[in-house]
Amino acid sequence: MSDSSSRSSAEKIAIDARKAFEASQLVDVSERNIALDAIRAKLEESRDAVLEANKKDMDVSLYFRP
């Protein structure tokens, strides 16, 4: 992946994250907290799998670093 395409991907992710944040502000605080608690619980439940996948990604990115 070229530097410009990875930058474009990073910019798109940042823009999408900003849009998601702005949309979340339209949701009632108690509903948003329920959703965030559910996300937190799922991340905690999946912690080991997420960390293992992240390690694999890091290993691959080090291998393909220019």
pLDDT in the model for residue 65: 66
User: CA 39 to CA 31: how far, in whole Å?
Assistant: 12
pLDDT at 66: 63
pLDDT for the residue numbered 52:
95
- The answer to whether 12 touches 20, Cβ cutoff 8 Å, is no
Angle at 2 between CA 9 and CA 4, to 5 degrees: 55
| pTM of structure | 0.56
| Cα–Cα distance for residue pair 51/57, rounded to 1 Å | 10
Domain that holds residue 52: 3-63
Q: Domains in the chain: how many in total? A: 1
Per-residue pLDDT of the chain (66 residues; tens, 9 = 90+): 555 666 788 899 999 999 999 998 999 999 999 999 999 999 999 999 999 999 998 888 777 766
